[in-house]
Amino acid sequence: MSTSSQTFNAPAGLKTVVVLGASYGGHRAAKVLAGGLPDGWRVVVIDRNSHANHVYNLPRYAVLPGHEHKAFIPYDNIFSISPSSPPKAGHIRLHAHITSLGPHSVGLSRSFPEYGIEEPLLHFDYAIYALGSHLPSPINLWSANPDADFEKHGTPKSISPSYQGTKPEGICWLQRHQKRVKEASSVLIVGGGALGIQFASDIAAVYPNKQVTLIHSRRRLLPKFDESIHTEILQCFEELNVEVVLGERLDLQSVHEGKTNEAGQRVVRTTTGRQVPADLILLCTGQVPNTGLLAEMDPRAVIPDSGLAPVLRTMQLNVPLSNDSSTCEQGSLYPHIFVVGDAADAFGAINAGHNAYYQAEVAAHNVLKMISNQDSSRPASSELAENKHGKVDEELGWYTPGQPRIKVSVGLAKTVFQVDDVVGTKSDGMDDLNASAMWSFLGMKVVGEEDMFA
């Protein structure tokens, strides 16, 4: 077990709740905390990106030119409850890599003397871990290799040393991807999840003369949802002339062999021996929980088989105090650390931004409740957790997953959706997937197209 030294570098007496990651879950956690923390407390949000990356729109913008700037949304109002209600002073956002995690400290890629952080190490009293998952290579802006995969526990094998997570860099990345798609006469998409479905249908819709093939290892697309969604998507693929191969898995070794045919196309094969030629291969599988920092802090903080972090219903990291399952004294060794979103083993919740949002809401409100319950005469939170033996406070809120829901575009205008038990389609889609709605949701006022260049 590795730990970082506890260096308290905040202004004297100021306590810190750190939010690691500022995407869908982290963004919500920061806003709830900023609106509820008492005097003497601050929120520190750390993210490697300068702007919020609207991941769900990246596949569209990686194919269709002209909208790529809309995927990167400023964090300007991350601490604001509403436009008319500015946040308290003292909350800060750091654009940095997180290099290490200890029980009460987080290592940073650089110091921030302008905020009183003289060393690249930040002490915290509570933490919400919202680092999500590493994305598949076709939308992983940080990957140095478009065919990159991952080591165990979600550590990327290949990270671009030059990429710094800024909006101009992200725009250029998407434009390069657009060029790759445009120049390919045939495209193979591997993986029939939402990402693969969107890439296949968007490419076929924008470039109807391209040969587009999708391979999926299962017999059904999106098997966690109603079968009618699978049927509807297959019908859309037929209309778009997308060839679909179900029930066959790609032999990844064939991807790395680099074989080509006489036409110069790459040739890969499935595990059944089927050979598929393509100019461009998009591996839309392999999304891996970003829990490497937790595993380095304490190997027990990550489930070996899944790479997910075990959590209590309160979203607290669930590393038991004792390995003796017969003991009646149950609790967490890290009651002050919460894990939300794709990194958490959250009781069957699917990986989705809306689930990360609600998990973060539960976690943030529980942090506020724990702080509220802490008497002024009690010691700091590190000692408080020890005094309470890490037992879960029965007053804390619990997270219960809702029924699976999804909305996936199939072509430029059509969407297929499921909300609870209701399944349907719409044909009113916009080329930019209504990007301004997410800008507004994240607190940015959008009057015209020009506003989304910020």
**pLDDT tens-place values along the chain, 454 residues long:** 333 333 434 566 899 999 999 999 999 999 999 999 999 999 999 999 999 999 999 999 999 999 999 999 999 999 987 656 666 679 999 999 999 999 999 999 999 999 999 999 999 999 999 999 999 999 999 986 655 443 333 444 456 678 999 999 999 999 999 999 999 999 999 999 999 999 999 999 999 999 999 999 999 999 999 999 999 999 999 999 999 999 999 998 998 888 999 999 999 999 999 999 999 999 999 789 999 999 999 999 999 999 999 999 999 999 998 765 544 446 799 999 999 999 999 999 999 999 999 999 999 999 999 999 984 444 444 333 333 445 555 689 999 999 889 999 999 999 999 998 899 999 999 999 999 999 999 999 988 899 999 9
Q: Could you report how far apart the first and last alpha carbons of the chain are, in Å?
A: 43
Q: How far apart are CA 146 and CA 389, in angstroms?
A: 47
Beta-strand runs (E) in 109-227: 121-123, 126-129, 133-134, 186-190, 211-216
Q: How far apart are CA 183 and CA 188, in angstroms?
A: 14
Domain range 15-135+288-387, CATH class = alpha beta
Secondary element (H or E) of residue 438: helix 435-441
Spell out the domain ranges in the chain: 15-135+288-387
Angle separating helix axes 227-239 and 194-206, nearest 10 degrees: 20
Determine the longest span between alpha carbons in the chain, in angstroms.
Answer: 78
Here the contacts of 176-179 (C-beta below 8 Å, separation 24 or greater) are 177/62, 177/63, 177/138, 178/62, 178/63, 178/64, 178/65, 178/68
Secondary element (H or E) of residue 292: helix 292-297
pLDDT at 158: 53
Beta bridge partners of 150: 156
Secondary element (H or E) of residue 427: none
Q: How far apart are CA 96 and CA 45, in angstroms?
A: 10
In the block, tokens 């959590």 appear at 311
Q: What are the φ/ψ torsions at residue 444 (nearest 5 degrees)? A: -100, 125
Q: How far apart are CA 332 and CA 75, in angstroms?
A: 33
Q: How far apart are CA 5 and CA 86, in angstroms?
A: 35
Write the Ramachandran bin of 142: left for phi over 0, alpha for psi from -120 to 50, otherwise beta: alpha
DSSP string of 33-69, one letter each residue: HHHHPPTTEEEEEEES-SEEE-GGGHHHHTTSTT-GG
In the block, tokens 């679909």 appear at 244
3-state SS, residue 206? helix
Q: How far apart are CA 389 and CA 185, in angstroms?
A: 62
User: What's the burial of 129, exposed, middle or buried (CB within 10 Å: 0-12/13-18/19+)?
Assistant: buried
Q: How far apart are CA 177 and CA 169, in angstroms?
A: 12
For residues 185, 188, 193, 194, the Cα torsion angle rounded to the nearest 10 degrees is -10
3-state SS, residue 203? helix
